Structure 1
Amino acid sequence: MNARRKTCSSMAEVRAEIDALDRQIVALLADRLHFIGEAARIKASRDAVRDEPRIEDVVAKVRASAAAAGMNPDFIEPLYRDLIDRSINHEFVEFDRLHKS
């Protein structure tokens, strides 16, 4: 059991814990999006933006991490597939912005 996972005594405490986690998740997603921008800067070709083998590698790793955390991998996979799709769309926008002819 994760040390962060505690028993709460009220809904106010549950909500405060969720709000704190949401702030951390948003900060981590901002960092992830930064590195998506880095990928857009580094990639030489727009065709390299969508990388199917990498998508499946990320999904496999996330499923394994979910299982290791005691979470159902079937819960996390669709969330990550949506995150990946949105990240790819962002990377296309960034690629086009950075590699204007």
Structure 2
Amino acid sequence: MTSDTKRPEDCNDMREVRAGVDATDRALMEMLDRRYGYMRAAARIKQDRGAVRDEARKAEVIANARTDAEARGLPADQLAEIWDRLVESSIAYEALEWDRIREAG
């Protein structure tokens, strides 16, 4: 957390909670930016556009998220749904990047 945000267990009012949520959202966006950077790298590396969609890998990523959520006591079903949407969005983004890279080159 940043110096102006408290850990959840240290919050005493909703202003502190909201500051923590906002800081966490910004950190999540930074991580998503990095994740999509890996999708750009994958689009650059994969030679076959058909390799962009890998159902076995998708299932593995979602299962990993579910297992991690369960271990943390978080709502695993709902987070698996979020991960499914994240992976589908990542696949779509990677496909667009794959096309863009090859059209530009």
TM-score (norm: length of structure 2)? 0.88
How is 1:1-101 mapped onto 2 (pairs within 5 angstroms)?
4-100=7-103
Structure 1 unaligned blocks of 5 or more? none
Aligned length: 98
Indicate the structure whose relative CO is greater, using CA pairs within 8 Å and at least 6 residues apart: 1
In the aligned structure 1, how far is the partner of 2:72 from the partner of 2:32?
19
Structure 1 residue 9, shift from structure 2 partner: 1.3
Structure 1 residue 5, shift from structure 2 partner: 3.6
In the aligned structure 2, how far is the partner of 1:28 from the partner of 1:54?
20
Q: Deviations over 1:56-80 (max 9, x none)?
A: 0000100011111111211201111
Return the letter of the residue paired with 1:13. E
Describe the SS at the equivalent of 2:9: coil
Contact 2:8 2:17 (C-alpha < 8 Å) held by counterparts: no
Structure 1 residue ranges (4+ consecutive) displaced by more than 6 angstroms after TM superposition: none
Structure 2 unaligned blocks of 5 or more? 1-6
In the aligned structure 2, how far is the partner of 1:42 from the partner of 1:66?
31
In the aligned structure 1, how far is the partner of 2:66 from the partner of 2:8?
20
Task: Give RMSD over aligned pairs.
Answer: 1.2
